[in-house]
Amino acid sequence: MKALYRKWILNYWSPYLAMALAGVLSAVYFGITKTVWAVTGEFTRLGGHVMEWFGADVSDWGYFKLIGMQGNPVTRTDGWIVWGMFAGALVMVLLNNNFKLRIPRQKRRWAQAFAGGIVAGFGARLALGCNLAAFFTGVPQFSLHSWIFMASTAIGTYLGVKLIGASWWKGKPRLIKGPVEPARAASGRIQPLLGGLAALAYAILIVCFFVSGHKMLGVAALFGALFGILIERGQICFTSAFRDLWISGRATMTKAILVGMAVSSVVTLVIILANGMDPITKIAAPSTLIGGVLFGLGIVMAGGCETGMMYRLMEGQVVFLPVFIGNIAGAGLLAYAWDHTFIYRRLVETGSKINLIDKFGAGGAIAATLIVLGLLFAIARYWQNHYRFGTGFRKGAAKNVH
Amino acid sequence: MSIDFALDVRGESCPYPVIYTLDTLKEMQPGQLLQVIADCPSSFRNVPEEVVKHGYTLVQEPQKNGRDIIFYIQA
């Protein structure tokens, strides 16, 4: 028992395992609720509620009609996915005695985080999803928009890496001549205790949802917590899956996410066919492309996307608080701009919902998806073996100067 | 073990611990020793992976000190 606890609770998990499990769980979640694992739609609604508190009437805004504003964040399944992810991540952080206020020494990080959060929030909602609905849970729905989003996010993160590599953005570390003797840390018992209590309280809450007949809220609260546990234990970072390729050729996260999507695609297809369900297809339009580029740029500026920032915040990385606020502000801004500016008319209306199952049939769709994911995996592997920090693919660089 | 430089990246989130570490190692003489102190949980994994991939050596197992982690890397 103790060994199991040590292995699964007090150790980080392989990102491959975490993503494969997330792939299976998100497919099952779709089978139960007919919605996908997503977070930014709810962030946009939060932005809408904030605007309502300030007296704005958002009831006739096209974007809120599109995503639905019924209820509030504790009566919606999408809301409980978000709270569940926070709760699951926090419990794991506390059980590991790993909460610490991690405060950036360089003040510029605050402004960078907020700006990045806005750009990422705006871009994600322009494309109708973030790295989840327009990517990790979009590809397994065979929705073409998620492939466009993925490609354009790659472009955006490349631009982002150019930006954060500039010396005025990057800043300077604290470099000391000679060793540093950090104070010995005392071993703490309080955080694991709080973590256990939080887990218990949350479990009771889930039971209450089921007992009181709010079955779907219970399902969302449970799956949200499981997703939170997975992304925290696997240290899953969608931002790094793209960004680190451009920086130092690291592809661990890239490959893990590709594996997760492949698993999720197979399980999702089985669920779609077995239950006679329709996959969730979103509009593929110029807005998908532009949104993806902005999202990619924004997440690199912010240091994390709408998913990654959730567990980072629970770890005490306070710089992700302005990211969170920025995400909501950016999403709210997009909701306003949607039909109050040219965005819907020029960038969205021209698009259409395209699903690979309609185009190629179920067999063709899964074959095409798995082949492309496999190709991307091979490219990521090659990239990891040959791309190096500061020199890229240049010959001889791989051997290093030593 | 004589440490030539120490890099304190506590409070910095990804990807800055990796960037700063690789930047610093590049400027050092081969054989010199760098100590890196980080507290971003992701860096517990990506700093050692990237350092080794770029041809440097971890001279001892990373040390956990409470919520911080300390790496010893030879340039």
pTM over 0.95: no
pLDDT digits (tens, 9 = 90+) for A255-273: 999 999 999 999 999 999 9
Query: Tokens 């073990």 sit at which residue?
Result: B1
> CA nearest A109 in B: which residue?
B12
Whether the complex's predicted ipTM is more than 0.85 is answered with yes
Any chain B CB within 8 A of the CB of A240?
yes
> What is the per-residue pLDDT for A398?
46
Contacts within 8 Å (CB) and 24+ apart, B25-31: B25/B51, B25/B54, B25/B56, B25/B73, B25/B75, B26/A390, B28/B4, B28/B75, B29/B75, B30/A401, B30/A402, B30/B75, B31/B74, B31/B75
User: Comparing A9-13, A130-134, A258-262, A385-389, which segment has the lowest mean pLDDT?
Assistant: A130-134
> What is the per-residue pLDDT for A399?
46
> What is the per-residue pLDDT for A396?
55
pLDDT over threshold 50, residue A401: no
pLDDT digits (tens, 9 = 90+) for A98-155: 999 999 999 999 999 999 999 999 999 999 887 788 889 999 999 999 999 999 999 9
Min distance A266 CA to chain B CA atoms (Å): 29
pLDDT over threshold 50, residue A335: yes
Query: Tokens 């993806």 sit at which residue?
Result: A292
> What is the per-residue pLDDT for A185?
75
Domain boundaries of chain B, sorted by first residue: 5-74
Cβ of B9 within 8 Å of Cβ of A177? The answer is: no
- Report angle CA A401, A251, A124 to the nearest 5 degrees: 130
Cβ of A102 within 8 Å of Cβ of B11? The answer is: yes
Quick check: is A155 in a domain? yes
The whole-number average pLDDT for the span A334-344 is 93
Any chain A CB within 8 A of the CB of B4?
yes
Contact list, B40 vs chain A (CB under 8 Å): 102, 317
Per the prediction, chain B carries an average pLDDT of 93
pLDDT digits (tens, 9 = 90+) for A21-31: 999 999 999 99
Cβ of B30 within 8 Å of Cβ of A402? The answer is: yes
Quick check: is A395 in a domain? no
Min distance B30 CA to chain A CA atoms (Å): 7
Cβ of A174 within 8 Å of Cβ of B7? The answer is: yes
Q: Calculate what percentage of chain B has a pLDDT beyond 70.
A: 100
The CATH topology of domain B5-74 is: Translation Initiation Factor IF3 (3.30.110)
The whole-number average pLDDT for the span A50-74 is 91
> What is the per-residue pLDDT for A134?
85
What is the number of CB-based contacts under 8 A between chain A and chain B? 134
pLDDT over threshold 50, residue A84: yes
Domain that holds residue A249: 2-167+189-386
Quick check: is A354 in a domain? yes
> Which is more confidently placed, A133 or A357?
A357
The whole-number average pLDDT for the span B20-39 is 94
Quick check: is A180 in a domain? no
**Number of structural domains in chain A:** 1
Cβ of A104 within 8 Å of Cβ of B3? The answer is: no
The whole-number average pLDDT for the span A349-360 is 94
> What is the per-residue pLDDT for A395?
64
Residues of B with active-site annotation: 14
Q: Who among B42, B44, B70 is closest to A237 (CB)?
A: B42
Phi/psi at A339 (5° precision): -115, 0
Quick check: is A78 in a domain? yes
**Greatest extent of chain A over all pairs of C-alpha atoms, in Å:** 66
Contact list, B10 vs chain A (CB under 8 Å): 102, 105
Per the prediction, chain A carries an average pLDDT of 93
Min distance A116 CA to chain B CA atoms (Å): 14
Min distance B42 CA to chain A CA atoms (Å): 6
pLDDT over threshold 70, residue A400: no
